[in-house]
Amino acid sequence: MTEEKKKELEQEVAETPVQDEKNEVVAETTEAPVEETAAEEKAEAPKAEAKKEKKAVETTAEADADFDWDSLEEGRDAYSEKERGSLEDLYNNTLNTVTEKEVLEGKVISLNKREVVVDIGYKSDGIVSLNEFRYNPELKVGDKVDVYIESLEDKKGQMILSHKKARATRSWERVNESLENDEIIKGYIKCRTKGGMIVDVFGIEAFLPGSQIDVKPIRDYDVYVGKTMEFKVVKINHEYRNVVVSHKALIEAELEQQKKEIIAKLEKGQVLEGTVKNVTSYGVFMDLGGVDGLIHITDLSWGRISHPSEIVELDQKLNVVILDFDDDKKRIALGLKQLTPHPWDNLDSELKVGDKVKGKVVVIADYGAFVEIAPGVEGLIHVSEMSWSQHLRSAQDFLSVGDEVEAAILTLDRDERKMSLGIKQLKEDPWSKIDTEYAVGSKHAAKVRNFTNFGVFVEITEGVDGLIHISDLSWTKKIKHPSEFTAIGEEIEVVVLDIDKENRRLSLGHKQLEENPWDVFETIFTADSIHEGTVVELMDKGAVIALPYGVEGFATPRHLVKEDGSSVKQDEKLDFKVIEFNKSAKRIIVSHSRIFEDVKRAAEGEQRKAQKSTNKRAMKTVSDNIEKTTLGDVSDLAALKKQMEQEEKKDK
């Protein structure tokens, strides 16, 4: 087949009879009236169809006759390389040019239970899993959707698309644009999470911190779940593809201008309306319309309160007065109680010292208790005014917070707004009748309150104390410290020995409850009487000896030597001789050594007495014979006389 015949065949195929017929019909239609044209078209329709079929058959037959079937069978190309290249270009130009990982808009052309077929204008249609359209149950044929080209051709020659990735890609681009342009966007709050909320923005899950929901603290996050709100993108982490949004940023921008206007007009003493924003243990934060101020707990009420929640509650609107602010007006001190008169100004003018008042204990300290007799009016009861007792204790021993008490006014200073009260003044002073109720010699039961080295302080009744000197505890025992005899808190019987009403002191005794046994001991432990005793304590200065009837004696070291020269031992029982008895000092001095020393001394005395008698007789004999002696005899006699005088002097 020649080149001219090929060109003629191609031209004939391109210019089909159907098109010619159609052109003829169109031409005829344009020349005829509307009614005639419609009638003619209806009448000529069967003829036109028959004519089309006839021409199509003729064209096909002619084409078959001209087609080089031999070249096809032999595998030879009927077109030259240039002709085929131009035909391929003509074909390719009729299709869209697409690449993988590209996002395009396509049209849904069919869908079934598993897949959606999307036409993107390419040579083949793409397939998307129906699961990716679960969010859109209204999807139907003809809808326009964004798709992401995952693969142009899989193993089966099918193009694979993803709607989910397309949404994510477009959303990420949209979020970045919002951050760059500082754009306000809308988002749907899906659920709560730790520290904030999860917000759906353009199909991306963004994080909304709790601090960025509102300018005021949020107490219930759940009320925001399911709401659609406006946000600003404040931060994007491109590495982890995290997005942080804020609703607070929108409010702050609006409040900033209000804040500047309010701060510029602030003055001390100015009264403003505010809303309780937060309540803490030390005060209340108020929102003054974009500016925050603090009402300290002491400025909430003239009376004492334990927590601000007793006065105010969250979101409550209050009028407050500006007390102070810093130079930058960033810290504003507010007051609530200052809007009402001071309670001291309304205090009964007839109230005076000596009057009785009732109130409630609001504060307890070691030194006393504060009693509120009217809202904002308090008086102090010092611990010394709570009882007539001289033993100062903590105020907690007498009162507790919340107790209702009655007290007498001791001092009243309206200018300084101070008042002191007393409880004990409501009772009679026990010392006013001390002479009759606690006369000298009267016996009473007392409670041990305290010890000193020299005695025991006891309390007979509230406000009446006395001292038992250590020497008045026992007639017989040698007590070094009162704790050896009694204990704090124990009861002890006492007798009043002396009264010092001016100094409010009583001298008491315990041993005086019994007769003085030393009157009897004086007849038993006479000088030189011998008694059995036990060594109960050994010391450097001597030993304490336990004698009969619970009496103790004392022996010095030289009186503790036995007859064999050894010393007595602890807990050893021996006979002791009384060498001194002092009733007033309640002292008995004894000696073990004196017993055998006195026996020996008595024996020696008898011997010396006999010797003396012998000597006297010899002297008489000498005197009688003196006249008969010679000079030599006189000398001997003089020596003998001198010796006898010395012995007599020694005995004395």
**Residue 553 located in a structural domain:** yes
User: Where residue 70 falls among pLDDT bands split at 50, 70, 90?
Assistant: low
pLDDT higher than threshold 80 for residue 414:
yes
pLDDT higher than threshold 60 for residue 399:
yes
Could you give the CA distance from residue 28 to residue 3 in angstroms, rounded to a whole number? 37
**Residue 399 located in a structural domain:** yes
- pLDDT tens for each residue of 89-137: 665 555 556 677 777 888 888 888 888 898 887 777 888 888 888 777 7
pLDDT higher than threshold 50 for residue 9:
no
User: Where residue 75 falls among pLDDT bands split at 50, 70, 90?
Assistant: low
Domain boundary, last residue among 339, 370, 401: 339
E-strand stretches of 183-301: 184-193, 196-201, 204-209, 228-237, 242-246, 271-279, 283-287, 292-296
- Both 335 and 352 in one domain: the answer is no
**Residue 209 located in a structural domain:** yes
**Residue 269 located in a structural domain:** yes
- Of residues 397, 401, 379, 394, the one with CA closest to residue 305: 401
DSSP 99-138: -TT-EEEEEEEEE-SSEEEEE-SSSS-EEEEGGGGTT-TT
Which amino acid, residue 208?
A: L
pLDDT higher than threshold 50 for residue 43:
no
Residue located via tokens 């004698």: 547
- Own/partner long-range contacts of 391-396 (Cβ < 8 Å, ≥24 apart): 391/449, 391/450, 391/459, 391/465, 394/366, 395/364, 395/365, 395/366, 395/367, 395/368, 395/369, 396/364, 396/366
- Of residues 77, 139, 154, the one with CA closest to residue 108: 139
**Residue 259 located in a structural domain:** no
User: Where residue 545 falls among pLDDT bands split at 50, 70, 90?
Assistant: confident
- Both 32 and 60 in one domain: the answer is yes
pLDDT higher than threshold 80 for residue 446:
yes
- Both 107 and 186 in one domain: the answer is no
- Both 10 and 81 in one domain: the answer is yes
pLDDT, greater one: 217 or 34: 217
Mean residue pLDDT of the chain comes to 77
Task: Compute the average pLDDT of residues 530-554.
Answer: 87
Task: Compute the average pLDDT of residues 596-624.
Answer: 69
Half-sphere exposure at residue 643, Cβ-oriented, CA atoms within 13 angstroms: 10
8 Å CB contact between 125 and 159: yes
User: What Rg, from alpha-carbon coordinates, does the chain have?
Assistant: 64
- pLDDT tens for each residue of 497-520: 888 877 778 888 887 777 777 777
- Both 352 and 420 in one domain: the answer is yes
How large a percentage of the chain has pLDDT more than 90? 3
Strand pairing partners for 409?
421
Other beta carbons less than 10 A from residue 252's beta carbon: 14
User: Where residue 303 falls among pLDDT bands split at 50, 70, 90?
Assistant: confident
DSSP 379-390: EEEEGGGS-S-S
User: Where residue 592 falls among pLDDT bands split at 50, 70, 90?
Assistant: confident
Task: Compute the average pLDDT of residues 582-609.
Answer: 79
How large a percentage of the chain has pLDDT more than 70? 77
Task: Compute the average pLDDT of residues 75-98.
Answer: 64
Task: Compute the average pLDDT of residues 548-560.
Answer: 86
Q: Could you report how far apart the first and last alpha carbons of the chain are, in Å?
A: 190
Domain boundary, last residue among 426, 452, 478: 426
Q: How much is the pLDDT for 41?
A: 43
Task: Compute the average pLDDT of residues 385-397.
Answer: 75
Q: How much is the pLDDT for 423?
A: 85
Range of 647's domain?
598-651
The values of phi and psi at residue 362, to 5°, are -110, -25
- Of residues 475, 472, 519, 520, the one with CA closest to residue 496: 472
Q: How much is the pLDDT for 612?
A: 67
**Residue 64 located in a structural domain:** yes
- Both 87 and 104 in one domain: the answer is no
- Model-level pTM? 0.40
DSSP 242-275: EEEEESHHHHHHHHHHHHHHHHHT--TT-EEEEE
- pLDDT tens for each residue of 326-377: 766 668 899 998 888 888 887 887 788 888 888 888 888 888 888 888 888 8
- Both 332 and 356 in one domain: the answer is no
- CATH number for the domain harbouring residue 108: 2.40.50.140
Which range among 161-170, 190-199, 266-275, 368-377 shows the weakest confidence by mean pLDDT?
Answer: 161-170
Domain count, the chain: 8
